[in-house]
Structure 1
């Protein structure tokens, strides 16, 4: 490998303000400490052979725009895939929660199907042709390689870290006094169908222990479902909005168990923070959590309420595990994550510049899928204008902001 005297990197920030934003901010700060020249901005600012680091692969259409822009600039591209196979979620997790209904049900179902195809095509293009990938765990790396045939030799594992506020001891007294609970079951994360809090509420309905859900609700409909389920619970249920880091650290310290029973969770940052605060940890089996915790956590099937209940109750009955806390604080640091990230930058700089034979074919496939999605969204908007003008305007904003813009960028890239 060639010697790298300096690295200038453009970090493209995520749209997501949750765990990805924390990862972005902490990684940027740690990279600067390692001497990397860090700049936050758009891929269009990059010069040839500079690094463009894309964090927000979950927002895949926006990431595709940045990817194509970076390629046009001649930059080297590093991507955090943040990927887990969501098939079970689409097949089971949305049942009874977010299913197409009404006059447009068939069209909406077609749109969702085509959108998933377009997202797959966009991910395949990015994951197969980035100069380096930064999976958060070996399990995620294996999935990216399997599902997209992405080259394993371009991947550097960069596990999540924990912030210093969570590595410090906390008593939990401030949270306990404010909310009147201690030794409760906690779930910290946005309230939505993916995080699966509704199943957690169902699974613990007959338990007398308090359950605290911390996080912003993504939709009022899902919040309503959870609140109605909470009314059936034997124990107390608290819904708490998103908290600043210090208050969240106090919540972890006051809790006994932290449970994330998501339909998928790539590498749950909240579980690391909770473990560093002394919580017993329950995780979904649909995640890379086992790569972090091994046998020091309890695992459950997100589609099986009994599995969730057994895992949470077993964790609650278990003694504290100080060794886990010490290991998490010692091993999962943002400095280590930044060191691995820097290795990926060096790998990207050394990557061959020859155009792979299949790039154009994959780009054209993504273009075709996006074009089909745009047509279906136009059809949907036309129907909505006849039914409800305000909803049609919302769909217009969504389509124009994500699909149409990406389609135009991809089309221009293929014409070069």
Structure 2
């Protein structure tokens, strides 16, 4: 009997934003490459009944409250669940991790059946036939916090597209107005500026202390009024000679490609990354990457990046001084270009479908 290759994707609503970030890229590029392999991918809608006999599985991206109820609905309709966890909560501290886990154990025992992001993710982990974390670190975290069975797990790395990152070889080609207006060398930060990514003001402060130019790229949620957001705005307003916020740049745009290629240092010392698609893109463009040591980033970058603990200003300062004085990173370009492309990701995902669902 021929096995169906129809798959329902369940995603957080944020992937439909104009600049949905790394999750948006992961979902759409996985979809496109799976379709090249003969799969039929459709996005979940609450107004449709799904006949389980017509589908291979449902694939949910990002465990938690944003995808829990669609996942539950599809499971009740008989579709096997594949879960790309994209889940790290709590802290890098082992003690904090234990406290976080047992705190949610207590919540589950309460008689009121309370649901929060982690409880929802636990329920998804229990119903999933396969779980596809992006790093070994994430897998172990999910095994601990979500009680995810290791027998269900297979690490599937993230990927990038490289075609748009290679600039024209014409030496006379003029850079875009944005990139051309920033004097080199500079430190680049790319990502959503929100309450989870608290490293932006820290990077800006260290750059000011070292007299280095810093360029910030990404969506900035205007509704956020945290102390970190106010701190960053103050640095931009008072030290515009060194700190430049250029706003969001479209994915695959020439302007963003030029930023990656012209920066000497790329900094992503956030609370955790798995691994941060922007860091992979910058690494392919030979930038010297400074990145958090939390989330499994070493799986991707190996010895070709400088690792720092989240929030550690002293480590970040030393890393900045090391990175700005180092030559461009040719080894990282080779590592990323050979191992982390979306075609590879789709092939590994298809193999997981076959091994966990079909077999």
Q: Against the structure 1 CA distance between its residues 159 and 115, is the aligned structure 2 distance closer, same or farther, given a 3 Å change threshold?
A: farther
Taking the aligned partners of 1:78 and 1:18, their CA distance within structure 2 comes to 22
**How far off its partner does 1:231 sit?**
4.9
* CA deviation profile, 1:171-220 (whole Å, cap 9, x unmatched): 79326654333321000001123222122222333111110010111245
What's the counterpart of residue 361 of structure 1? none
What's the counterpart of residue 31 of structure 2? 28
Q: Against the structure 1 CA distance between its residues 184 and 4, is the aligned structure 2 distance closer, same or farther, given a 3 Å change threshold?
A: farther
Taking the aligned partners of 2:156 and 2:347, their CA distance within structure 1 comes to 8
Q: Against the structure 1 CA distance between its residues 67 and 176, is the aligned structure 2 distance closer, same or farther, given a 3 Å change threshold?
A: closer
Q: Secondary structure at the match of 1:281?
A: strand
Q: Against the structure 1 CA distance between its residues 115 and 74, is the aligned structure 2 distance closer, same or farther, given a 3 Å change threshold?
A: closer
- The answer to whether structure 1 residue 127 and structure 2 residue 133 are counterparts is no
Taking the aligned partners of 1:4 and 1:179, their CA distance within structure 2 comes to 58
**How far off its partner does 1:8 sit?**
1.1
One of 310, 316, 326 as aligned partner of 1:308:
316
Taking the aligned partners of 1:209 and 1:331, their CA distance within structure 2 comes to 32
Q: Secondary structure at the match of 1:200?
A: helix
RMSD (CA atoms)? 2.8
Taking the aligned partners of 1:345 and 1:148, their CA distance within structure 2 comes to 22
Taking the aligned partners of 1:26 and 1:138, their CA distance within structure 2 comes to 22
* CA deviation profile, 1:19-66 (whole Å, cap 9, x unmatched): 100111100000011111222233754321521111132xx2231101
Taking the aligned partners of 1:313 and 1:21, their CA distance within structure 2 comes to 33
What's the counterpart of residue 248 of structure 2? 242
What's the counterpart of residue 209 of structure 1? 212
Q: 1:12–1:52: 8 Å Cα contact kept in structure 2?
A: yes
Taking the aligned partners of 2:296 and 2:37, their CA distance within structure 1 comes to 27
Q: Which has the higher contact order (CA 8 A, sep 6+)?
A: 1
* CA deviation profile, 1:222-265 (whole Å, cap 9, x unmatched): 54320213456596100111101222111101111110011122
Report the TM-score when normalising by structure 2: 0.83
- The answer to whether structure 1 residue 269 and structure 2 residue 272 are counterparts is no
What's the counterpart of residue 148 of structure 1? 146
Q: Which moved more, 1:120-129 or 1:256-265?
A: 120-129
**Aligned runs of 1:104-253 on 2, under 5 Å?**
118-169=116-167, 173-174=175-176, 178-196=180-198, 197-218=200-221, 219-222=223-226, 223-231=229-237, 233=239, 236-244=242-250, 245-246=252-253, 247-253=255-261
Q: 1:27–1:338: 8 Å Cα contact kept in structure 2?
A: yes
Q: 2:10–2:58: 8 Å Cα contact kept in structure 1?
A: yes
Structure 2 alignment gaps of length 5 or more: 15-19, 97-111
Q: Against the structure 1 CA distance between its residues 276 and 45, is the aligned structure 2 distance closer, same or farther, given a 3 Å change threshold?
A: farther
| Larger gyration radius, structure 1 or structure 2 | 1
What's the counterpart of residue 69 of structure 1? 73
- The answer to whether structure 1 residue 10 and structure 2 residue 8 are counterparts is yes
* CA deviation profile, 1:138-181 (whole Å, cap 9, x unmatched): 12112111222211121121111111444534679326654333
Q: Against the structure 1 CA distance between its residues 117 and 229, is the aligned structure 2 distance closer, same or farther, given a 3 Å change threshold?
A: farther
Structure 1 alignment gaps of length 5 or more: 93-113, 352-416
What's the counterpart of residue 81 of structure 1? 85
Q: 1:204–1:233: 8 Å Cα contact kept in structure 2?
A: no
What's the counterpart of residue 352 of structure 2? 344
Taking the aligned partners of 2:136 and 2:302, their CA distance within structure 1 comes to 13
Q: 1:155–1:344: 8 Å Cα contact kept in structure 2?
A: no
